[in-house]
């Protein structure tokens, strides 16, 4: 009597397992990418609203909008992590696929968050202007 000792997996079993894993990955990976992009957009919108709040608090307190980094940092302690082109601001800040820019003077401001790679880092450019107007909503 010959006894066959069967150890390991057959080629067919391995191919079926790999096929199932590939199918699950093909379904999950695009969803993960979409969720990351949507998360980037929500974060950009939140950051722009934070900048708006700081500028509006400064207007209510001092009677004018920020004109330099030092002045704005007093009302927005995390300001150095956002804008770069206001006098004295640090280099461009890139976070989660968005770059933030600021234009301010004593009578108004414009804060912009735009995706570095539209489609993969985000699809929406957010702009905030004086008086707390954020577009797109």
Check pLDDT > 60 for residue 88.
no
Selection from 2-16, 48-62, 78-92, 100-114 with the highest mean pLDDT: 48-62
Question: Residue 50: helix, strand or coil by DSSP?
Answer: helix
- Say what the pTM is: 0.75
Query: What does the pLDDT look like over 93-109, one tens digit per residue?
Result: 566 788 888 888 888 88
- The total number of residues written for the chain in this structure: 137
Task: Spell out a b/e string for 23-42, using b for 16 or more CB atoms within 10 Å of the CB, else e.
Answer: eeeeeeeeeeeeeebeebbe
**What does the domain layout of the chain look like in residue ranges?**
11-135
Per-residue pLDDT band for 8 (boundaries 50, 70, 90) equals confident
Tell me what pLDDT residue 13 has: 93
């Amino acid at each position: 009597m010959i006894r066959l000792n069967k150890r390991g997996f057959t080629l067919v079993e391995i191919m079926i397992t790999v096929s199932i894993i590939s199918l699950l990955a093909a379904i999950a990976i695009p969803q993960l990418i979409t969720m990351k992009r949507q998360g980037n957009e929500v974060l950009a919108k939140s950051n722009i609203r934070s900048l708006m709040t700081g500028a509006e608090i400064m207007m209510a307190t001092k009677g004018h909008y920020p004109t330099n980094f030092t002045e704005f940092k007093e009302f927005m302690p995390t300001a150095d992590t956002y804008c770069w082109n206001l006098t004295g601001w640090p280099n461009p800040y890139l976070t989660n696929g968005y770059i933030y820019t600021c234009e301010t003077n004593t009578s108004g401001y414009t804060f912009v968050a735009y995706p570095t790679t539209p489609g993969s880092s985000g699809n929406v450019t957010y702009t905030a202007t004086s008086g707390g107007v954020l577009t797109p909503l």
